[in-house]
Amino acid sequence: MVARRNIGELLARCRLEPDTKDVFVEGDLDKALIERFLKSRNLPSTGVFKVETIEVPSDILLPHERGSHRGRLCALARTLEHELGDSAPVRCIIDQDFDFLLGSLTTVRSELLLTTDRSTIEMYFFDPPLLQEILSGFFRNAQLDASQMLSEIADALISTSNIFATNQSLQLGCSPIPLSRCSN
């Protein structure tokens, strides 16, 4: 179980330690990638935390924000900006999801809320040179070609993305099928 701070504690920390900088993200991969990025920019003192480390009360969530890390981050950014202004030493980062395609259906505008440039943070791996570097590092003896690999999975990813976008735009509420049910 993750120990959670409440928003009041975070507000107090921001007011008492204005030089402390924090970033809140959706999940483990987001946290790891943002930490790596900050370290590469010589900003290792910025704290990166998953949103589940903050207790976001349900009464500050808008109806469409309930039940998701993204929604909790939107509510957190909105609350912090209301209390501290747009220069607060905190940023929340969410995936762009389908905002680029469907318009901003779920995102509340806030200077403290940043979105990825791509639909998900995982899409940054959809870059042949970066993926080649990762593959070469993990599979040193294998002859893997990142460009070929990406071209082979592109159609499946596009189809899957279209299914998720349709589910969201029509508000169908369908849950994804677990990968374990998709194997032979």
pLDDT tens-place string over residues 73-129: 999 999 999 999 988 999 999 888 766 566 655 556 788 998 887 777 777 777 888
* 114 bridge partner residues: 93
Instruction: Answer yes or no: pTM beyond 0.85.
Output: no
Task: Determine the Cα–Cα distance for residues 9 and 176; give it in Å rounded to an integer.
Answer: 36
Task: Determine the Cα–Cα distance for residues 46 and 89; give it in Å rounded to an integer.
Answer: 10
Given this model, what pLDDT does residue 91 score? 95
With pLDDT > 90 as the criterion, what percentage of the chain qualifies? 27
The domain limits of the chain are 1-122, 126-174
Structure tokens at 7: 């928003």
Structure tokens at 174: 């369908």
For 7-40, the pLDDT digits (tens) are: 999 999 999 998 999 999 999 989 988 898 888 8
Average pLDDT, the chain: 83
Task: Determine the Cα–Cα distance for residues 95 and 116; give it in Å rounded to an integer.
Answer: 5
Contact 11, 83 (CB under 8 A): yes
Given this model, what pLDDT does residue 61 score? 81
Residues 6+ apart with CB under 8 A from 107: 74, 94, 99, 113, 115
